[in-house]
Amino acid sequence: MKILRLLPLLFLIPAMLFANGNTESGDVSTVTVWHSNSGVLEDAFNHLVDEFNTNHDDIRIDAIYQGRANDVLTSVNAASLAGSGLPDIAQLDATAGLDMMYAPYLVTVEELGVDTSALIASAYAAYDGMNGHIGVPFNASSLLFYYNADLFEQAGVNVPRTLDEFIEIAPVIHEKTGVYAFSGVPTTYELVSFLGSQQGGVYISDNRNGHDGVSTKVLFDENGTFKTFLEKWKALYDTGAVNNLTSGVSSAFYSGQSASMLASSSNLSTALENTDGLFSLGVANVPMVDDEATGGVNIGGGCLAAFTNSEAVKEVIEYFISPSVQAYWAEHTGYMPVNSKTVESEDWQSFIAENPLYSVALDQALSSSEVVIGLWIPSAYQVYYSFQSTIASVLEDGMSIDDAVRTMADMINTSLAEYTRQHA
Amino acid sequence: MLKKIFAILLALVIVFPLFYNISLSLFSPRDFNTSPALFFPSSPAFENFSRAVSHRYFLRYTINSLVTATLAAVIRTLIVTLSAYAFSFLHFRGKKIILFFLLLSAFIPQDSLLYQNYVTVSRMNLTNTYLGIIITSLFSATQLMMLMTAMKSLSKDTFDASRVDGAKDITILFHIIVPLTKSVIITIFLQSFIGVFNAYLWPLLVTNTPDMRTIQIGVSLMGYQESGRMGPLFATLLIILIPFVILVVATRKLIIKALSNGLSY
Amino acid sequence: MRAKNDKRGYLYVLPAVILVAVFSYYPFLKAFISSFFLKTQSGEFSAFVGLDNYKALFSNGYFLESVNTTFLITAIFVPLNTFLTLLAASFVRRESRFNEITGSLYIIPMAFSMSLLALLFKQIFSPTNSIINRIFGLDIVWLNDRISAIFAIIILCIFLDFALDYILLLSAFRKIERNIIEASLIDGANEIQRYFLIELPQIIPTLIMTIFIAVKDALLISAPIMLMTEGGPFRSTESVMFYYYIEAFRGQNRAAESTISTITVLFSALLLIIYSAVQKRRRHA
């Protein structure tokens, strides 16, 4: 019987079942880094990792792409359930803030003893939690206004500094070029700036946007910032020059179907790659809600959070924030350097002299208020979409602005209360 | 005649994704941003394929998928066959209760227990192992039912006669029973293979190193989509797809025959 | 003759028993019990809360929306899928050269695995330049509103289930005894009468099975949504199982995880009971 002759093969199965890719070797300590860099970002990141590995005999970085920042968080949360399998370092963004602040396995920057003296203060402050810093900024970015300079020129308009100016020029662009002046619906990331920058800089929820412990309620209803924003944004939409896209925003922009978009500065290199030869790309500060909105933008992007307290991990993290690494990273991606020595270096100064687009994000961030920081709330990912859907209801379905403010405040307050119920 | 025209129209719709995938795999970056959408590439971008195959994990993901699907199908077929044999031909105390216990599990969809099973598997330290990827799919109550139905239709005399001859269970099972229920067993094997090969959520959870990822989750973790490098993405999809298209079309008679035995859900 | 006790039987069924106990019953019981308690981050029980977790779940608008979406997908997908697969199998049910070639095209979707097809459909239904718009001369911004996104997901699901359902139905048609059909020929029934009066009733059990599988697939849908729309736009295409995945793993929400597990297991058990009852009644009728 043929099948009997196959039986010996069955004995190979156990060996295969437990096979895994890990190869541990004696004196080299491997530092596993889960990251979220893809495309041009991954190319740059891998270059940095390779450079580290070539220059170190005793430490090897094992860089693993886990999807986007919130996928990395999902993987970290899943691994933490197992009690094993956590990486040594993970690249996380503000949506991880609350989880990390309370995570028993997190090693804070202070505990790890990383030298942070050269970090740009506001970039470092973005990760300041109640028990210390959850990580060091690595891929710092800020929101930027990307525009199609050719279309703006064709319409004969200037880049708007405020939403009021945008309301004036949007119909002009639409009329003269035939394409939408703007595509997209603001989400949490945009709103932290649109709301937080008002009245010279305000918090969006109490406990310093959740950085000093879980927030108990939102503040944007009481202080009127969400209402002010919605009024302006509705006026902008009512010009008929805005396309409420929720996906494919960047491809609409790259393909010339819309004249501008709001996106993270980390998209700069990708945007240059995608628009090369199609049109001339411009970037500018995010238009502010009104003249009193002087708070600027928050520093977003991501940080490196450590889950292992060791010299090797500390050395890897210090490598990633070192002046030369930050210079290379910023010049190849569009992220802004987080190390003040990078900014002061002649290398960087000559780079931005040649590539002025790369300096906009940093200048904008440096002139922003320290009050405008990332929002650390439970279900951060879900809130992201709630903001979009509520704004879209106001624009498209005639929901009143007061109702929208109440809906959004209720929704977040309920999820804060549910979090507190479960974790009392 | 009208029927034939509709039959062909339907076939065109069914085949369209395959055609479009071939076309997309040759699109240049600019073709992807051209509006209205193109049917054919402006000029074939063959470099998409060299980029796709040179991805450092492409081969690894593919191998992982084939290995896990094959392992799972072999083990599951074996487990189902052994228990179907025991329930059909052997007498032991509590048989009915044990059978009821096994069959009742068909009422519990494992998709609903993703989290709890993940906790179990990770506590067993099986994350990032082949066993971890397949362990929740090594038994199926409905397949057990299918095979038992097939075995019941065999004459009891065949079994009793060989029993009297003093033949061992393994010999009876593999020499007499298995050949007689071959087509159902092939069905079980195929269904198990397809099920594990197509799995998405579970392998996404239990693997977090590129060495262990399967192609299903691998293609979306190659970073092509996020960075707008769509050409190599579709080239990758096509490379995986083509062998399966050939396999499916070439062995369609076998597949149709095997799957017509019934289906596990 | 007294029934002897073949002890080896226990050995042969042992692997199955262990697997079922560990990966079906144990997790269900654990989820069921957990659903009445609060748990800490590390998984220890911290307080008994009765039905509070269920109350929290059912007062969550997004969960209710996901239930709504799941039923909407099921309500459209199941009839559409049944109609199309039945149509395909009916077209080529007789054996002929033409049917052989056309039929082999119908099983091509089987070569696509789920995530591959989802990524491809994401491009086919691209919001900026969809080939569907080009073909049909439409001007739809696909995936950008609930209706078009759900429609795209349903089309994807039809492609995923098409080949298998087609094969099952085709085999059912071809298994019909020749003499039944021949008898009807003698009776002078025309092609259409024969199809509806003779052949279709014969394949009803298979048809019920494919409908049931479709219902089950639609109710438990999650991965296609995750890959195609990620629940968007505006969380308007989240299914129950997608919501479960997000809450359990990304949101670390123990209460939502255990309650949804319990509810969906009980619900699908109910469905299976209904299915068995329907099939049994048919057999006795």
**pLDDT tens string B162-171:** 676 667 778 8
As a dihedral over the C-alpha atoms of residue C81, residue C84, residue C90, residue C95, rounded to 10 degrees, the angle is -100
Same domain, B47 and B145: no
CA distance B239 to B53: 9
For A392, nearest residue in chain C (alpha carbons) = C234
Over chain B, what is the mean pLDDT?
88
Same domain, B41 and B114: no
For C99-117, what is each residue's pLDDT tens digit?
A: 989 999 999 998 898 999 9
Same domain, A334 and A248: no
Of A78, A102, A257, the CB nearest to C249: A78
Neighbours of chain A (3+ CB pairs under 8 A): B, C
Residue at A276 is within a domain: yes
Question: Residue A4: what residue type?
Answer: L
Question: What is the average per-residue pLDDT within A281-308?
Answer: 93
For A390-402, what is each residue's pLDDT tens digit?
A: 999 999 999 999 9
CB contact C129 to A (< 8 Å)? yes
Residue B145 has pLDDT above 60, yes or no: yes
Same domain, A407 and A345: no
**Helix, strand or coil for residue B118?**
helix
Instruction: Give Cα separations from B188 to A269, A408, B74, C185 (angstroms).
Output: 50, 51, 10, 38
**Helix, strand or coil for residue A286?**
coil
Q: Do C128 and A99 touch (CB under 8 A)?
A: no
For C214-252, what is each residue's pLDDT tens digit?
A: 999 999 999 999 999 888 787 889 999 999 999 998 888
Instruction: Return the top range by mean pLDDT from A12-26, A298-312, C2-16.
Output: A298-312
Q: In what helix (H) or strand (E) does residue A271 lie, and over which residues does it extend?
A: helix A268-275
Q: Give residue A13's pLDDT.
A: 56
Residue at B8 is within a domain: no
**CB-CB neighbors (< 8 A) of A411 in chain C:** 61
Beta bridge partners of A183: A243
* Total domains present in chain B: 2
Residue at B7 is within a domain: no
Q: Give residue C4's pLDDT.
A: 67
Q: Is there a contact between A204 and A362 (Cβ–Cβ < 8 Å)? A: no
Residue A3 has pLDDT above 60, yes or no: no
For B23-74, what is each residue's pLDDT tens digit?
A: 999 999 888 888 788 999 999 999 999 999 888 888 999 999 999 999 999 9
Residue A11 has pLDDT above 70, yes or no: no
CB contact A254 to B (< 8 Å)? yes
**Is this structure's pTM higher than 0.90?**
no
Question: What is the average per-residue pLDDT within A274-296?
Answer: 91
Size of interface A-B (CB pairs under 8 A): 105
CB contact B217 to C (< 8 Å)? yes
Confidence grade of residue A22 (pLDDT, cut at 50, 70, 90): very low
Q: Do A65 and B210 touch (CB under 8 A)?
A: yes
C233 preceded by cis ω (within 30°)?
yes
* Total domains present in chain A: 2
Residue B222 has pLDDT above 80, yes or no: yes
For B205, nearest residue in chain C (alpha carbons) = C249
For C126-170, what is each residue's pLDDT tens digit?
A: 888 899 999 998 888 898 888 999 999 999 999 999 998 999 899
Q: Give residue A58's pLDDT.
A: 93
Residue A297 has pLDDT above 60, yes or no: yes
Residue at B10 is within a domain: no
Same domain, A244 and A188: yes
Question: What is the average per-residue pLDDT within A192-201?
Answer: 93
Same domain, A351 and A230: no
CATH number at residue A402: 3.40.190.10
Residue at A23 is within a domain: no
Domain, as residue range, for A388: 143-297+378-422
CB contact C50 to A (< 8 Å)? no
Q: Which of B14, B40, B82 to mutate to test the interface with C (most CBs of C within 10 A)?
A: B14
Same domain, A161 and A207: yes
CA distance C84 to C166: 9
| Tokens 């369609």 -> residue | B252
Q: Which of A366, A393, A409 is the last residue of a domain?
A: A366
Q: Give residue A25's pLDDT.
A: 52
**CB-CB neighbors (< 8 A) of A244 in chain C:** 144
Same domain, A290 and A414: yes
Taking the CA of residue A43 and the nearest CA in chain B, the distance in Å comes to 11
CATH number at residue B77: 1.10.3720.10
Neighbours of chain C (3+ CB pairs under 8 A): A, B
**Domain extent listing, chain C:** 8-48, 55-284
CA distance B74 to B85: 16
Residue at B3 is within a domain: no
Same domain, A236 and A248: yes
Residue at B138 is within a domain: yes
Residue A1 has pLDDT above 50, yes or no: no
Q: Give residue A10's pLDDT.
A: 53
CA distance A111 to A99: 18
For A209-228, what is each residue's pLDDT tens digit?
A: 999 999 999 999 999 999 99
Q: Do A392 and C234 touch (CB under 8 A)?
A: yes
Q: Which of A20, A75, A278 to mutate to test the interface with B (most CBs of B within 10 A)?
A: A20
Pairing of strands A89-93, A29-35: parallel
Same domain, A285 and A307: no
Question: What is the average per-residue pLDDT within B117-121?
Answer: 94
Confidence grade of residue B264 (pLDDT, cut at 50, 70, 90): very low
Same domain, B41 and B108: no
Size of interface A-C (CB pairs under 8 A): 83
Residue A261 has pLDDT above 80, yes or no: yes
- Say what percent of chain B tops pLDDT 90: 53
Of C61, C126, C250, the CB nearest to A248: C126
Of B102, B117, B249, the CB nearest to C20: B102
Taking the CA of residue A159 and the nearest CA in chain C, the distance in Å comes to 25
Neighbours of chain B (3+ CB pairs under 8 A): A, C
Confidence grade of residue B257 (pLDDT, cut at 50, 70, 90): confident
Choose among A196, A368, A374, A359: nearest CA to A284.
A359
Q: Which of A325, A346, A366 is the last residue of a domain?
A: A366
CB contact B136 to C (< 8 Å)? yes
Residue at A15 is within a domain: no
CA distance B222 to B239: 15
Over chain A, what is the mean pLDDT?
90
Same domain, B40 and B131: no
Q: Is there a contact between B218 and B61 (Cβ–Cβ < 8 Å)? A: yes
Instruction: Give Cα separations from A190 to A13, A186, A196, A272 (angstroms).
Output: 52, 5, 10, 22
Residue A38 has pLDDT above 90, yes or no: no
Residue that wins the pLDDT comparison between B224 and B17: B17
Q: Give residue B265's pLDDT.
A: 39
Same domain, B171 and B90: yes
Confidence grade of residue A140 (pLDDT, cut at 50, 70, 90): very high
Residue at A22 is within a domain: no
CA distance A249 to B28: 20
Q: Do B71 and A81 touch (CB under 8 A)?
A: no
**CB-CB neighbors (< 8 A) of A21 in chain B:** 128, 209-212
- Cα C95 off chain centre by: 30
Residue at B256 is within a domain: no
Confidence grade of residue A196 (pLDDT, cut at 50, 70, 90): very high
For A326-378, what is each residue's pLDDT tens digit?
A: 999 999 988 999 999 999 999 999 999 999 999 999 999 998 988 999 999 98
Residue A14 has pLDDT above 70, yes or no: no
Same domain, B132 and B150: yes
Residue B123 has pLDDT above 80, yes or no: yes
Helix axes A225-238, A188-196, angle to 10 degrees: 110
Same domain, B30 and B125: no
Q: Do A78 and B129 touch (CB under 8 A)?
A: no
Residue B252 has pLDDT above 90, yes or no: no
**CB-CB neighbors (< 8 A) of A247 in chain C:** 127, 143-144, 229, 232-233
As a dihedral over the C-alpha atoms of residue C5, residue C10, residue C13, residue C17, rounded to 10 degrees, the angle is 130
Residue B261 has pLDDT above 70, yes or no: no
Residue at A123 is within a domain: yes
- Cα atoms found within 13 Å of the Cα of residue C239, Cβ hemisphere only: 27
Q: Which of residues 146-185 of B touch C (CB under 8 A)?
A: 169
Same domain, A58 and A161: no
Same domain, B227 and B210: no
Same domain, A280 and A199: yes
Of A73, A418, A421, the CB nearest to C250: A73
Question: What is the average per-residue pLDDT within A61-73?
Answer: 92
Same domain, A259 and A161: yes
Residue B193 has pLDDT above 70, yes or no: yes
Centre a 10 Å sphere on the Cβ of residue C183 and count the other Cβ atoms it contains: 12
Instruction: Output Rg (C-alpha) for chain C, integer angstroms.
Output: 24
Q: Do A381 and C254 touch (CB under 8 A)?
A: no
Helix axes B182-198, B58-89, angle to 10 degrees: 140
For B33, nearest residue in chain A (alpha carbons) = A255
Same domain, B166 and B106: yes
Domain, as residue range, for B29: 16-55+222-250
B29 preceded by cis ω (within 30°)?
no
Same domain, A206 and A288: yes
Handedness of CA C76, C81, C82, C83 (dihedral sign): positive
Q: Is there a contact between A262 and A197 (Cβ–Cβ < 8 Å)? A: no
CA distance C16 to C206: 28
Q: Do C134 and B112 touch (CB under 8 A)?
A: no
Q: Give residue A18's pLDDT.
A: 56
Residue A127 has pLDDT above 70, yes or no: yes
Same domain, B92 and B173: yes
Residue at B100 is within a domain: yes
**CB-CB neighbors (< 8 A) of A18 in chain B:** 129-131
Same domain, B74 and B100: yes
Q: Which of B107, B131, B246 to mutate to test the interface with C (most CBs of C within 10 A)?
A: B107
| E strands, B127-189, in order | none
CATH node for C55-284: 1.10.3720.10
Same domain, B95 and B32: no
| Residues 6+ positions from A8 with CB-CB distance below 8 Å | none
DSSP A230-244: HHHHHHHHHTT-EE-
Q: Is there a contact between B56 and B221 (Cβ–Cβ < 8 Å)? A: no
